[in-house]
Amino acid sequence: MTRHPITNVLSLDEVNLRAKQLRLIIFDVDGVLTDGSLYLSDDGQEIKAFFSLDGHGMKMLKRSGVELAIITARNSQLMVHRARNLGVTHLYQGAEDKLAAYQHLLAELEIAPEHIAYMGDDVVDLPVMRRCALAITVPSAPDIVKEHAHYITALPGGRGAVREVCELIMRAQGTWEAQLAPYLK
């Protein structure tokens, strides 16, 4: 296997500058909101495990004023329930062409790419990652995805990577302390 240099990773200062401008973050599901494992029952039902700290980070980020969206190539009623629980109103399932879903979302929300972050972990995420202000991936992503990422999380997908990014954005935007305040009374 040929190792490619990770060329697009930005300094933390540049990541923070871009994060400060964000109005929307879009998440992939498998490998980002989950650890990428797919559990299938005998009757074909799909089961996923989500990390509660990631979910609470998403809720805090949304309360801080950053809109949340999910684009996934898979379809499951489970994701409808999870999105509703997280307050995510922009859920695109069965999005084999994630770029088309991304473009629809931009038009619907009237947000320019320089105000958008995308967090994905595989080659199907590259078309969107290459067209947003802050492309984020996880340590287990293939090298080609890491090459196009501006930021690679320290924590793994489904085990704190999403929370790491949510906190990074809130800190960059100066909203982290306000989100913590209710818990520090």
pLDDT tens string 34-44: 999 988 889 88
Do the beta carbons of residue 74 and residue 98 sit within 8 Å?
no
Residue 57 is which amino acid?
Answer: G
Helix, strand, coil percentages, rounded to 5, for the chain? 45, 15, 45
What is residue 122's predicted lDDT score, i.e. its pLDDT? 97
pLDDT band (50, 70, 90) for residue 2: very low
How far apart are alpha carbons 87 and 91 in whole angstroms?
10
| Calpha distance 162→176 (Å, rounded) | 15
Answer yes or no: are the C-beta atoms of 131 and 99 closer than 8 Å. Answer: yes
User: 12-183 sits in which CATH class?
Assistant: alpha beta
> Which DSSP symbol is given to 123?
G
- Which tens digits make up the pLDDT trace of 78-116? 999 999 999 999 999 999 999 999 999 999 999 999 999
Residue 1 pLDDT exceeds 80:
no
Taking the C-alpha atoms of residue 50 and residue 33, their distance in angstroms, rounded to an integer, is: 6
Distance CA 159, CA 98 (A): 24
| Distance in angstroms (rounded) separating the CA atoms of residues 131 and 160 | 25
